[in-house]
Amino acid sequence: FGGESNARFNRCGNLVLKKTPFKYESGTQPIEGALGMKAAMDYIDTIGKENIHKYELALKHHFLKRAEAELPRVKIYNPDAQSGIITFNVYDDGKLIFPQDVASFLNSRGIAVRSGEHCAKLLGEHIDVPGTVRASAYFYNTFEDIDRLVDALKDCTFTNCLDIFF
């Protein structure tokens, strides 16, 4: 107990807690976090959520168009999802390159993605893979970022993935 949770406390150990929910707050509230969150929300509102969403979809469609033409070894699992999230796997000679290896390879090219089960443990059983790679396009990304991802995926092979470790 401490900080903002108690209403009274004395050296004899007598403690009176504040009423719920304040009695569960043991410390000063993160004022800077609240102010930062307000600034971030104002920034998002200035750009406009609809504009952000349209831009996310434009980035994703740019990826999908290039992937269809240039990445026959990449399987995309969510081309119709109405978000900037692109979930995929890479195959080499018909065999799946482990998603974490693809993520490490892309990281070596300065591209940050997520790999694994993405908190959806049963999905892998459903699509019969141990996980996927996920790129998340957002308003701070550019079309050049998407081009870099596509170009890197062209080079993603078993050999190139192993080369980053050795």
Q: Return the pLDDT at 17.
A: 80
- Residue ranges of the chain that CATH labels 3.90.1150.10: 50-163
Confidence bin at 2 (pLDDT 50/70/90) = low
For the annotated catalytic residues, the residue numbers are 119
In this predicted model, what pLDDT tens digit does every residue of 69-90 receive, in sequence order?
999 999 999 999 999 999 999 9
Q: Phi and psi dihedrals of 131, rounded to 5?
A: 165, -175
Identify the CATH number of the domain defined by range 50-163. 3.90.1150.10
Exposure string for 63-77, b = 16+ CB within 10 A, e = fewer: bbebbeeebeebbbe
**pLDDT, averaged across the chain:** 92
DSSP symbols for 87-156: EEEEEETTEEPPHHHHHHHHHHTT---EEE-TT-TTHHHHHTSS-EEEEE--TT--HHHHHHHHHHHHT-
- pLDDT per residue as tens digits for the range 92-142: 999 999 999 999 999 999 999 999 999 888 888 889 999 999 999 999 999
